[in-house]
Amino acid sequence: MRNYKLTIEYDGSDFYGWQVQPGRRTVQGELYRALEEFGPDAVKVVGAGRTDAGVHASGQVASVKADLELDCVTMRKALNAKLPKDIMIRNAEQVPLSFNARFDAKRRTYQYIFIMRKSALWRRYFLSVPDSLDVDRMHRALLDLPGERDFSSFASAGDDCSSKRCNLMRADLIENKPLLIFEVTADHFLYNMVRAMAGTLLDIGRGREIDLDGIVRARDRSLAGSTLPPYALYLIDVCY
């Protein structure tokens, strides 16, 4: 039995998220399907983040336990040959059997990407915001987010976590015109948390008077902005 750590990139447009779901195409499901062709009796695939339908990744991490004798280079090449074109294994390395991609992760980084103009080409990958935004105001507002706090105000009703506390380590805006990138790092995230934060930040940029610190302290989802669409959200890095 070996344990492989895979770094995975995928276009989430045509997936119902990461996690296996009966009758639906998922990233984890495609990995299981590709691994079955190697013939191991028992395979377990664990992802660092359970991305939702439509969400993309450039740095998803999965641990794969399998009874295989493949070296890491062969494993990466063989999987890429069998996986569909919207999934790619960027790297593979052997790790101890005790390694778990989800529970051993120390922090995860997501980006929500706005494009500051109308776009036909990038409409499936960035959220088009053709109106002018007060970016300086958005930068200042983000100073109130980091910390270990209860982020219930940004969690969707479907979140089943017993605790809504997260350690949000960093929140920033990156300007790369015409793109405006909201980047956030935390030990873990609640269901739809980044998309709700991005929606609130967009409202701030459009001039709405919002106290982010007050919203967090209130623990009231109705005070935050809308949950933005999934297609502009990317899991870009997982650190251990």
Which positions are catalytic? 52
- Per-residue pLDDT reduced to its tens digit, 137-184: 999 999 989 999 999 999 987 666 667 899 999 999 999 999 999 999
Neighbour-count burial of 193, counting CB atoms closer than 10 A to its CB (0-12 exposed, 13-18 middle, 19+ buried): buried
232, 127 contact by CB (below 8 A): yes
The two tokens of residue 221 are 């989802």
Q: Where in the chain is the domain with CATH 3.30.70.660?
A: 107-239
- Residue 226's identity, in one-letter code, is S
- Per-residue pLDDT reduced to its tens digit, 183-205: 999 999 999 999 999 999 999 99
Give the pLDDT score at 51.
95
**pLDDT band (50, 70, 90) for residue 43:** confident
- DSSP class of residue 65 equals E
What distance in Å separates the CA atoms of residue 135 and residue 175, rounded to the nearest whole number?
A: 9
Those residues with Cβ within 8 angstroms of residue 146's Cβ, 6 or more apart along the chain or in another chain = 168, 169, 170, 171
The two tokens of residue 46 are 């664990």
- In terms of CATH architecture, what is 2-95? 2-Layer Sandwich (3.30)
pTM for the full predicted model: 0.94
**What fold characterizes domain 107-239?**
Alpha-Beta Plaits (3.30.70)
Q: Where in the chain is the domain with CATH 3.30.70.580?
A: 2-95
pLDDT at 39 over 80: no
Long-range contacts made by residues 113-119, C-beta under 8 angstroms, separation at least 24?
Answer: 113/179, 113/180, 113/181, 113/182, 113/232, 113/234, 114/179, 114/180, 114/181, 114/182, 114/202, 114/232, 115/178, 115/179, 115/180, 116/177, 116/178, 116/179, 116/180, 117/178
